[in-house]
Structure 1
Amino acid sequence: MKKVVYGLLILLAVIHQDVWWWDNGELVFGFMPLGLFYHSLYSCMAAGVWAMAVKWAWPSDIEQWAESGDEAGGEQ
């Protein structure tokens, strides 16, 4: 599942460059520019991918180390 999360992170980095709607003056819902609407959806997608990263790609060994209270590896 880590590879899926990493792939989605790369995809988000690529689609963040939304050059295709820079000159579009269309309004969504009658008040929101299309580019702003796109970035609103993009932000929701980024939050979802971050939640997936925390659930499936977070390094569990760091959590175990932090909870154990072991001082090895830190500043001495």
Structure 2
Amino acid sequence: MKKISVVFLVIFVVLAALHQDAWNWSSSYLIFGFMPVGLAYHALYSLTAALFWGIVIKFAWPEDLEQWAEEGEKNSTP
């Protein structure tokens, strides 16, 4: 396993653990005066997860799989 894959796996496990935000369940604090803190937390969490998966795709996508798919397209074109 590549070193970068191990780093991504560790970050994934940390993000999975942070997804369970039990500390915000009983909080009545509002962000910007209208958004519950739990909702704001999950909005930021969703953006962080999307950014993380975008980076994973950019750096950990298997290039040999991509080459195999492109070769298949070239061979099937009449």
Shared fold per TM-score greater than 0.5: yes
Aligned to 2:50: 47
Structure 1 runs (4+) greater than 6 angstroms displaced: none
Aligned with residue 14 of structure 2, among 2, 11, 14: 11
Secondary structure of 2:7's aligned partner: helix
Aligned with residue 61 of structure 1, among 43, 64, 77: 64
**TM-score, structure 2 length as denominator?**
0.83
Contiguous gaps of at least 5 residues in structure 2: 74-78
**TM-score, structure 1 length as denominator?**
0.85
Aligned with residue 38 of structure 2, among 35, 58, 62: 35
Larger RCO, structure (CA 8 Å, separation 6 or more): 1
The letter for the 1-side match of 2:64 is: D
Deviates more, 1:4-13 or 1:40-49: 4-13
Q: How many residues align?
A: 70
Measured in 2, the distance between the counterparts of 1:67 and 1:22 equals 48
- RMSD over aligned CA atoms reads 1.2
